[in-house]
Amino acid sequence: MKARRRFIALTAVASLGLAGALLYWWVRSRPVTNVLTLYGNVDIWEVQPAFNDNGPVSRMLVVEGERVRKGELIARMDDLRYAARLAAATHTAANLRAVLLRLTHGSRPQEIAQAKATMDGLRAVYRNAEINYARTLALIPQGIASIQDRDDARAQVRAADANYQAALQTYSLAVAGPRREDIIAARNAYAAALAAAAVAARELADTRLRSPANGVVEDRILEPGDMASPATPVYTIALTSPLWVRAYIPERDLGRIAPGTPAQIMTDSYPGRRYRGWVGYISPTAEFTPKTVETPELRTQLVYQVRIYACNFRRELRLGMPATVHIDLSRHAAAGSGGGPATARWCGAHHVTRE
């Protein structure tokens, strides 16, 4: 009886050991999935361009839903005052440029010749006055000339000499040309006028609002006749690139991905289509799972926000669209990739595939 019980006990122990070994082998031999699935929503950036000055809106050139390209004219503001200001500044700069050119070119040959002729004429008058004075001095002993005649002749000599010296200095100034300080002052005044004209030109250009990037007009905020200002947006434009899926990854899976890891994106709107993407951003801080996250995990679990940038050449992915992201963990991040919206580098010709 005892032997039978011992046999049963040994058999039970052996069975349990065998079952444990089989369970261990089954667990170890289970295939480990290399695909990480995340759930999120399509997200994009939005911009609200505004005029850089104050004035009434004269024209609104695009409407909601219209696609715009970077640099495209989308609105205009009344520019009468700014055009007049630019014209005045341009004419002022032209006048100061003429003054500067006149100073830098110096005296004209005709002006120098005129100054020299005047100097030569006054020198002749001065020499003639000296001769008359000498004659008067010689006639005084003979009683032909009086003391008054002598004084008059001497005064004429002095006056002629003063006139000649003045003409000599005028000729020297004509030959030397303008002073260096006057040229510097004229050059600075001209530069200031050019700066004022550039500011006026920029203010005139600011009356034309251009799209800051490629996108789609979501909202037309102002209308013709409204008063525009730098603090008042004119449009809301959704940027078509970059576009990404905002998802959240549990902390335990954080070490399995890196910026640049390839991914595929699927949506319910286009079943069977897969959009190429890549991990472009991983939040450096943890947070509690938001209520809007579509995940079967518990909502009290700490997660990290990630952005999976997408190729959207067919413009099928739209803001807020729920999306499922499959990240192939067997494919390593691209060498030298820092993530981010490098759409041109990642999105090639085969940007959409079918299952």
Question: What are the helix (H) ranges across the chain?
Answer: 2-29, 80-105, 109-139, 147-176, 180-205, 343-346
Joined tokens for residue 37: 């699935």
| Domain residue extents for the chain | 1-30, 35-44+236-354, 49-78+207-233
- Mean pLDDT within 117-140: 87
- In the three-class reduction of DSSP (H, G, I as helix; E, B as strand; rest coil), residue 87 is classed as helix
Q: Please determine, for residue 297, whether its predicted confidence score (pLDDT) is greater than 70.
A: no
Residue for token pair 């008042």: 232
Q: Which of 67-81, 137-151, 206-220 has the least mean pLDDT?
A: 137-151
Q: Please determine, for residue 1, whether its predicted confidence score (pLDDT) is greater than 70.
A: no
- Mean pLDDT within 166-190: 88
- pLDDT class of 178 with cuts at 50, 70, 90: confident
Joined tokens for residue 149: 């005649």
SS (H, E, C) 283-331: CCCCEECCCCCCCCCCCCCEEEEEEEEECCCCCCCCCCCEEEEEEECCC
What's the burial of 67, exposed, middle or buried (CB within 10 Å: 0-12/13-18/19+)? Answer: middle
Exposure letters 223-262 (e unless 16+ CB within 10 A, then b) = eeeeebeeeebbbbbbbbbbbbbbbbbbeeebeebebbbb
Q: Please determine, for residue 250, whether its predicted confidence score (pLDDT) is greater than 80.
A: yes
Q: Quick check: pTM over 0.75?
A: no
Q: Please determine, for residue 159, whether its predicted confidence score (pLDDT) is greater than 80.
A: yes
pLDDT digits (tens, 9 = 90+) for 135-158: 888 887 887 878 888 888 889 989
One-letter amino acid of 73: L
Higher pLDDT, 319 or 196: 196
Most confidently predicted of 76-90, 169-183, 341-355: 76-90
User: What's the topology of domain 49-78+207-233?
Assistant: OB fold (Dihydrolipoamide Acetyltransferase, E2P) (2.40.50)
**Is residue 213 within 8 Å of residue 226, measured between CB atoms?**
no
Angle formed by the axes of helices 109-139 and 147-176, nearest 10°: 160
**Does this chain's domain 35-44+236-354 share its CATH topology with 49-78+207-233?**
no
Neighbours of 353 (CB within 10 A): 11
The sign one gets for the Cα dihedral 195, 200, 205, 207 is positive
| pLDDT value of residue 342 | 58
**Residue 115: closest CA among 156, 68, 52, 167:** 167
Q: Please determine, for residue 223, whether its predicted confidence score (pLDDT) is greater than 70.
A: yes
Neighbours of 81 (CB within 10 A): 13
Q: Please determine, for residue 29, whether its predicted confidence score (pLDDT) is greater than 50.
A: no
CATH of domain 35-44+236-354: 2.40.30.170
pLDDT digits (tens, 9 = 90+) for 5-25: 554 554 544 554 554 554 444
